[in-house]
Structure 1
Amino acid sequence: MEQVKVLLFGAAADQAGVREAEFTANGVTLDELWSMLTLKYPALSPMRGTLAFAVNGEYAKGEETVRAGDEVAVLPPVSGG
């Protein structure tokens, strides 16, 4: 079965201790995928309000659905100006 690949960056990668994870998660929302991720890496849980998601290189909101074969990036806050 195909997987959803999750790429972690910045503090999220530091807290999880990994930069990449895979989940069998076809047809779930990003919010549901986040729940799966925090079950596996509980230290990520308090970070949710500071992170953004991108699916296949496009910013996405929590209610959007991911499919097998998608690549989800968990992105830290962007700063600068």
Structure 2
Amino acid sequence: MRIKVLYFSSIKDKIGMSSENIEMAENSTVYDLIKLLSEKYPQIKDSLKNSMFAVNEEYASTEQELKEGDTVAIIPPVSGG
């Protein structure tokens, strides 16, 4: 199945893109996506551990199952001053 992943803030800066389409196995979860992205982009592995995830504009747990055409936003923690 194909999903769209949106990257924000520090994660976007580290991988140099704001979105991409990713092919995943059927019945994959947000956790499976985290594992895949950690392997594909080792430089964001730590950021992924502390990020929040939204599937189709609703916050999601790592156990949420993904479906064809879903959009997953990865929202890393931000610090302000």
- Stretches of 4+ moved more than 3 A in 1? none
Aligned length: 79
Please give the alpha-carbon distance, in whole angstroms, between the structure 2 residues aligned to 1:78 and 1:11.
8
**Paired residue for 2:41?**
41
8 A Cα contact 2:5 2:21, kept in partner: yes
8 A Cα contact 2:48 2:76, kept in partner: no
Structure 2 gap ranges (5+): none
1:27-80 deviation line (CA, Å, top 9, x unaligned) = 201010111112221111011232100000000011111111000000122668
Please give the alpha-carbon distance, in whole angstroms, between the structure 1 residues aligned to 2:34 and 2:49.
12
Please give the alpha-carbon distance, in whole angstroms, between the structure 1 residues aligned to 2:32 and 2:74.
14
Please give the alpha-carbon distance, in whole angstroms, between the structure 1 residues aligned to 2:38 and 2:79.
25
**Paired residue for 2:72?**
72
**Paired residue for 2:7?**
8
Structure 1 gap ranges (5+): none
Q: SS state of the match for residue 6, structure 2?
A: strand
Is 1:24 matched up with 2:13? no
Percent of matched pairs sharing the same residue:
37
Q: SS state of the match for residue 12, structure 1?
A: helix
